[in-house]
Amino acid sequence: MQWEWQGLNLRIVLVALVAGLVLLLGGHWVYKSYGYHQPLIQALEENSAVESYEIDDSTSFLRVVVHLKRTENLMETYQQLSRRVEQSVGGRPFQLVVKDQRDAKLSQAYYQSQFAVHQAIVQGSFPEMAAVVDENAREAGAEARVFVDSDCVYLQLEGVNGHLLEVIPRNHYQDQAQSGGGGGLYVQRG
């Protein structure tokens, strides 16, 4: 077999292509492992509120699912966790999804509170929302904690047999109003 084509030694070309591919794939693996995976894993494992976690980087954004233990203040826990993830991934887009240990009573209390939550996001009636959430939680035999910042509404229902944690974005409605879009609120459920 002849290994030359139009003056090019095909063996050298083939070896160079294979070496380039190995370097490219190896560099990607090193970046993925040490560029953000290791710092992200360290950040998640150092956080005492994190019971377990899953990292999915099979899409264009990084999806980090955290199973949280019971916490006193969901807003502070989520903000701290979000900052640490953001620092760890170095500008790569990510989605932080919170998983909890809800039972049927807590789920029903949250379901009954959703209208008040979304109405508060649109109208700013947060004290009324908190009263509705408290009442629904009390009927379910749970304690409610509601936190609000400029980005999200944080609902925390603490029951005897579990806890429910919801982080609901506030800016979605404003973005839709400015862009003229419609549709429902996008919240990633864990």
pLDDT recorded at residue 178: 39
Domain extent at residue 54: 9-99
Q: Are residues 16 and 90 in the same domain?
A: yes
Classify the phi-psi angles of 154: left when phi > 0, otherwise alpha if psi is within -120 to 50, otherwise beta. beta
pLDDT recorded at residue 64: 92
Instruction: Look up tokens 């502070």; give the residue.
Output: 76
Q: Which of 62, 77, 99 is the last residue of a domain?
A: 99
Q: Give the domain CATH number at 13.
A: 3.30.70.1770
Q: What share of the chain is helix, strand, coil (3-state, %, to 5)?
A: 50, 25, 25
pLDDT recorded at residue 19: 78
Give residue-wise pLDDT tens across range 92-115: 888 999 999 999 999 999 999 999
pLDDT recorded at residue 174: 47
Give residue-wise pLDDT tens across range 57-81: 888 888 999 999 999 999 999 999 9
**What's the start-to-end Cα distance of the chain, in Å?**
58
Classify burial at 170, counting beta carbons within 10 Å of its beta carbon; exposed 0-12, middle 13-18, buried 19 or more: middle
Q: Are residues 18 and 51 in the same domain?
A: yes
Question: 122-135 in b/e burial notation, b at 16+ Cβ within 10 A?
Answer: eeeeeeebbebbbe
pLDDT recorded at residue 5: 66
Q: What is the pLDDT along the chain (190 residues), one digit of tens a residue?
A: 567 767 777 777 777 777 787 777 766 555 555 556 888 899 999 999 999 999 998 888 889 999 999 999 999 999 999 999 998 888 788 899 999 999 999 999 999 999 999 999 999 999 999 999 999 999 999 999 999 999 999 999 999 999 999 999 998 644 443 333 333 333 344 4
Q: Are residues 72 and 46 in the same domain?
A: yes
Is position 132 within any domain? Answer: yes
Q: CA 121: distance to chain centroid?
A: 20
How many whole angstroms separate alpha carbon 145 and alpha carbon 74? 8
SS3 165: strand
How many separate domains does the chain show? 2
